[in-house]
Structure 1
Amino acid sequence: WGVEARPAPQPYSLLGTTSVGPLLLNNYDLALIALALLVGGVGWWALTRTIAGKLLLAVIFDREMAEACGINVRRVFLVTFLIGSVLGALGGASTAPMISVSRGLGVDVIVLAFAVVVIGGLGSIPGALLGAAVIGLSRAAAVHLLPQAEVFAIYLIMTLVLIVRPYGLLGHERLRKV
């Protein structure tokens, strides 16, 4: 691998572009948005409407009680880890053509994901969506207004949110079990 970044094949020329008024949008970017909405919708549906989703929520909210009710907590954790791994691979494979893949790429992604979760609120899926929108819009604005402060803008927003709402924008205080 070495120290050089590896570019992924660019699908932009294969899929073309779409013009919406004065804007010219890449169809690959639109496909990524559609994929994200589809995966998010299926995930939301699976968590709220299926038995497996209800089992997962039961384990998340009270592991001991779920285990006492006969739920195989280890299996739920294993399946959750596998689904998370598949989603991570899907996300990495679909965004690799947009950026060069390098050894330090994970650090940038982890910082952004951490900021999204903190801003939105731990444990809140709608909060994660809101946090992602806040981070995406602030990064886009910072790149155009002051490119040197792009990363600083993320930390500034995260700090301000934590000062005003310590549990995130849509998070709430959780009672601790003793």
Structure 2
Amino acid sequence: MPQLSAEELRTRMRRDLPGAVLEAAPLQIVPPAHGSKGPFVTPDVLVEPTRLLDAALYLRDQVGYTYLSDIAVVDYLTDNLLEVVYRFYHLDGGPSLALKVRLSRENPELPSLTPHWPGANFHEREAYDLYGVVFTGHPFLRRIYMWDEFEGFPMRKDFPKQGDKYIGAEE
């Protein structure tokens, strides 16, 4: 059963993919309640956005983490960025590994993993629909939950929670 840690992955990727791994700067979030002090930084590997495909293919082809389980987006409004998290598993078991990419909220764009992982299709469409992340090279990047005429991205922290023009518009 593979037992590759995030730190071991980071070391291998720095060696084999120069320029792909970034140092994770602390975000302006409240540390977890379990008493940790100082800024909270996860051990996951932070990847240069333009090198996401290289890093994901490396994880699959060189390390054997072939199963892309999910893609999640976190909105850090105070830092003016979106963080996209990709979670991978090895089919022989063991802990998952995550690749993270940080993007500006103004122009969140990443290469699509759908051509290489067909299972990424709906995850990327969800990230596009709810957060506005554009996945270049996606074969059918359309809204998946909201209707085509819907304006905005309802999971972003700055999306209006009241006074939405769609609520009661037909009354």
Q: Could you tell me the TM-score, scaled by structure 1's length?
A: 0.24
Bigger strand fraction: 2
Query: Who wins on radius of gyration, i.e. which is larger?
Result: 1
Q: TM-score, normalised by structure 2?
A: 0.25
**Higher RCO (CA-CA < 8 Å; seq separation 6+):** 1
